Amino acid sequence: MPVKILIADDQPQIRNLVKSMLSEYLVLQASSGEEALRVVRESQPDLVIMDILMPGMDGLTACSQIKADPATAEIPVLVLTIIDHDLNRRFANNLGADGYVTKPFTAEQLRQAVVRHLKPAEKTGPAV
């Protein structure tokens, strides 16, 4: 079973960039917090990468709801945002985020964050 990663960002170019950087994984996409919650509940990804600033339901609210649901609470959530303030990091952590990646990021920074938050059996990606 391939490792599934959900990227939730309202900017298609960011979603496509993350998908290309993580091509060894099955990357699902969502363009809003509401869509991310639906995909998480339906697909049970192994990891969620979530932008904070999205129209409608923001990423912090979606993260909080993922962590509040016993069916999805164990799914790691990485917050991906252009806002790099210590207060935002603490706020994201208080809402259950497991990690924080700041835009702009390199492919290596993103891969390291992903590997750090996947369960040990998932870290190598799909079997070839």
Read off the CATH number of the domain in which 108 is found.
3.40.50.2300
Residue 28: strand, helix, or coil: strand
Cis peptide before 12 (omega within 30 of 0): no
In tens, the pLDDT along 13-70 reads 999 999 999 999 999 999 999 999 999 999 999 999 999 889 899 988 999 999 999 9
- Which domain, by its residues, includes 56? 4-122
pLDDT band of 81, cuts 50, 70, 90: confident
For residue 94, pLDDT beyond 80: no
> Is there a domain that residue 128 lies in?
no
> Is there a domain that residue 113 lies in?
yes
> Is there a domain that residue 9 lies in?
yes
Structural domain count, the chain: 1
Report which DSSP code applies to 9: -
pLDDT, averaged across the chain:
86
> Is there a domain that residue 127 lies in?
no
CA distances from 77 to 12, 24, 101, 127 (A): 19, 19, 11, 23
> Is there a domain that residue 28 lies in?
yes
